Structure 1
Amino acid sequence: MILLCELLKNWPCTASGGNIRAEVRGVTDHSAEVVPGSVFVVRKGRRSDGTAHIPEALRNGAVAVVTDTPDPPELPPDVAAVSVPDAADFLAHACSAFYGHPSRELEVIAVTGTNGKTTVTHFIGQILKAAGIKAAVLGTLGLWVDGEKQDIGLPALTTVPPTHLQRVLRHCADSGVTHIALEASSLGLEGGRLGHCRITRGVFLNIGKDHYGEHGGEAAYLRAKARLADLSDRIILNRDDPAILKLCEGKSAGWTFGGSPDGGNHIWVEDAGSGSWAAGCGDERTLLPAPVGGKHNRLNAAASLAAAVSLGFGIRSCRAGLEGLKLPEGRMQETGLSGVRVIVDYAHTPDALKAVLESLALEAGGRIITVFGCGGDRDKEKRPEMGEIAAFYSSSVWVTSDNPRNEDPLQIISDILGGIGGEGPNHRAEPDRELAIRRAIAEAAHGDIVLIAGKGHESGQTTAGVTRPFSDFEVARRHLEDIHSNSGSDTVQSTDGIWYDGGEME
């Protein structure tokens, strides 16, 4: 707990009414989360104005209401009315103060980029754990500590708001965690979710096409990404991405990373042939078995290694972590049957889809059959480009739905097919995603790869405002089990190490 006067101390504000020495038992911008003794911060969201929720906050026991509007609303005399210049900034400050500024007790590594944030944060966690560090990972897949998923009630967001972020950081610090790697999305950075959080290292992966529409254009998207440089003690840059170097021009980079050797504070990981990687910095070099495939994952590993090395860990002390790297859920997650490999990946941008398909093309013994779609109410300009990429690398493409949200699924599919000249013998439309997956697997023969792209770990499909349970991996696995049950010949293997024989787990 903290007193209201302590929360407002040294903060530009005016306050009237209420009890300035009231004990604060919570800080939130969601009226439904208000408990007796809470400070309710009124913010104007993308879809609604928090002012409309003040009555509910008062009914739930708010002791103070904070606004940044020129004309604050009338409040009961026993509730403090606080006016601040920026409600979002105050929310981040107040949450940090309420939880005792937990980021000051941790090494916080924030990772931003259009693609790869989830993989890199989990790689960092794995490298640090292997080096004997109790580390946490926070992002798209929730909170993980020492490789174990934590059930602490978080919203399904890449970067959680400060009300949850500071609670998580306090939980981690109190649990003995010393390092945490978290995903910093463009929307999270723009919305000030990482404000008043001490970030030790800011890692910049890449810049691609995503969320332009939600930011109001490319320039606003880039400005949001660039904020991480100002929030971080030191930054780590991808030297192989010109857009990243331009974005951070004039900023002093502590370290860089890439796919080829270079001098100075530069970490590199390259293909050494025969299923091996070479990793190094300056004159230091180590050879290790390649734990995961794909050029993009070598770069992800280099970014993760750069973060660890920049914090004082030597390359050789990170070797065990590098050798044991495992991709997180929904990233190149594989199952299969009768020589057909079925791979589920979150690739939902042009760059990500290209990276995955390029990687699969190098190892494919047969055809590549791709199933994918594009989300509704998002970046329409990327749709034909993704269609073109899928058609270039795949022998067969099934264009389907991927969270149409409030758009017409058929229009989204039409936009995608516009990049490959419409439907044809090898480019087909099937709006029902489950049916598209089943048809793609049915089409595959021994040696073929079926890539199901776009949703990865997601467990729901949103159409017309309604979300129903849906998992690409589970749909694929169920279909493979059906095939096996009917044939009675082969086993179905998944990358979680469980073998399926006739639908029964051994």
Structure 2
Amino acid sequence: MENLFKQSNVLETISFVVGPSPATVHSITYDSRKVTTNSCFICIKGQHVDGHQYIDSAIKNGAQVIVGSEKELMMDWYFKRPDRTFVVVHDSKKALASFASAFYQNKHKELALTGITGTNGKTTITAYIRSLINALGEPTASIGTAGVWDQYGKVNVETTTPTTPESSDLYTLFDQLRENKTTHVAMEATSIALEQGRLHGLQFDIAVHSNLRPEHLDFHNTMEHYRNAKLKLFQQANKAVVNLDDAGMSAAIINSFQGELWTYSIEQEATVMAQKLQTQQSGTSFDLIVHGKRYSVMAPIFGEHNVANLLAAVTTCMVKGYAIEEIIRCFPLVKGAPGRFQLLTDYPGRQLIFDFAHSPFAFEKLFHTIKPFSYKRLILLIAGIGVRPSYLRPEIAKAVEGKADEIVVTVDHPGDEDPETVMADVISGFINKPEHLHLVGERGEAIQKALSLADEGDLILITGICMENYQIVKGKRLPYDDLKHIHLFLEQDTKTTSA
């Protein structure tokens, strides 16, 4: 792009420029390995890596423009390579967002953006919004933990962060989605992404709040800091959707938000409410109350928490101008995200459920959700997460103690940890070590172990990463698929039965 440095949102990030007049920029990246001829390389500082350390690599790969915030270092490099353009900025993270926005000619402004934040429920709310608005006739995409999905299905893109992409990756996605005729995007906005400026410069049509509970305190240190990070989304939004049942954050949003505000609730008076919930094998029926008018509805979802998530999506659709009668007609088409209380039907004679539960609160909701199900025994797989703080692992065992007939313990994303150590941390949380406890360090083998323990009529709960297609091992993302291991077991089981 020739006029990149003439854009006002780019100019306001720049302190000064040295070197030849910036050449035409062909790409923007913060990863020196992805630099090509005439790239603009932006040095951002992460938790563990500083992009300024890779300037040499970026130049060798063809970077013509180098952007960074370390003034003295940038000047040193200018004296070494006066044939390159060096741009000193006030904040590299904000510069990355502004440069990427300008590079793609602000295409994101052609999309209606909805941001969803909260500790639990973001992924499911995002999926519900995408499926509802698509059913209502508007091509809609979603971005988050479950990956990128557009109106046609899952989009094959490289993920660089667990949930909310880095800003330049995000603007690349926006450009691709716009080219694909997408008009609406629902995306997860994590507290870390908001704090790190990945969403800098975006203005959301709607900001949606789910709830606030202790999490990511290894990054935020305090609940106040965690809450304030999430509140930043509402400073970048025109309208807000708030869960009145959440004491952690709802009041803070209501007291500070200046725009149009809508509410939803199961427990108290709100714009959109749900009452008389009844769970069945096919889903949940309830009374939906909108502006005081009552509708008897049925949706293919399970659990009170998912009814709350659906209320968030319904309220969002109403904020967008859709009539409640239109929205209700689309309820049979509501789809959750993979791995969020996902019922699998490939295992005859047994009930098999995937769920992302990996915290005490999530397990509490999960056990409550399966109460209406009929089954003989409960087979439960739980996982300690190697790349997260070790103090979280025993809490998983405490949350599930006494809840299952068989418990299989494994490891998600071992990282640099020894799987045996991770599993030992998990089981240290049991007050009384279960009699039927199985430790299997490799997740795929653990899934097959859980399946092998089940008899006809049993319910198998596979918890943890579920829908992710990789495992982080020794700093590398290794391909992985839960479903592959289920199919392998079924194939072997069929052969054994036939023999």
State the TM-score, normalized to the length of structure 1: 0.89
2:187 to 179, 182, 187: 182
Alignment of 1:487 onto 2:497: yes
Aligned runs of 1:36-185 on 2, under 5 Å? 36-73=37-74, 74=76, 75=78, 76-155=81-160, 157-185=162-190
- Name structure 2 gaps, 5 residues minimum: none
Q: Partner of 2:6 in structure 1?
A: 6
Alignment of 1:237 onto 2:247: no
Alignment of 1:258 onto 2:259: no
CA contact (8 A) 1:126 1:147 kept: no
SS for the counterpart of 2:205 is strand
Q: Partner of 2:285 in structure 1?
A: 276
- Name structure 1 gaps, 5 residues minimum: 490-506
Q: Return the offset for 1:219.
A: 4.1
SS for the counterpart of 2:142 is strand
Change (3 A) 1:283 1:217: closer
Letter of the 2:424 counterpart? S
CA contact (8 A) 2:279 2:302 kept: no
Distance 2:475 2:177 in 1: 35
Q: Partner of 2:364 in structure 1?
A: 354
Distance 1:392 1:249 in 2: 40
Worse-superposed segment, 60-69 or 371-380: 60-69
2:405 to 392, 395, 402: 395
Alignment of 1:221 onto 2:226: yes
Worse-superposed segment, 356-365 or 448-457: 356-365
Alignment of 1:296 onto 2:301: no
Alignment of 1:423 onto 2:433: yes
CA contact (8 A) 1:88 1:191 kept: yes
SS for the counterpart of 2:390 is coil
Letter of the 1:266 counterpart? V
Q: Return the offset for 1:68.
A: 1.4
Residues 299-349 of structure 1 deviation map (CA, whole Å, 9 limit, x = unaligned): 111111111111111211112322221222222232454522122222222
Distance 1:488 1:332 in 2: 32
Q: Return the offset for 1:222.
A: 2.9
Q: Partner of 1:459 in structure 2?
A: 469
Q: Partner of 2:444 in structure 1?
A: 434
Distance 2:189 2:209 in 1: 10
Distance 2:262 2:164 in 1: 24
Q: Return the offset for 1:467.
A: 4.6
Distance 1:330 1:273 in 2: 20
Identity %: 27
Alignment of 1:321 onto 2:322: no
- Give RMSD over aligned pairs: 2.5
CA contact (8 A) 2:4 2:99 kept: no
Distance 1:71 1:386 in 2: 48
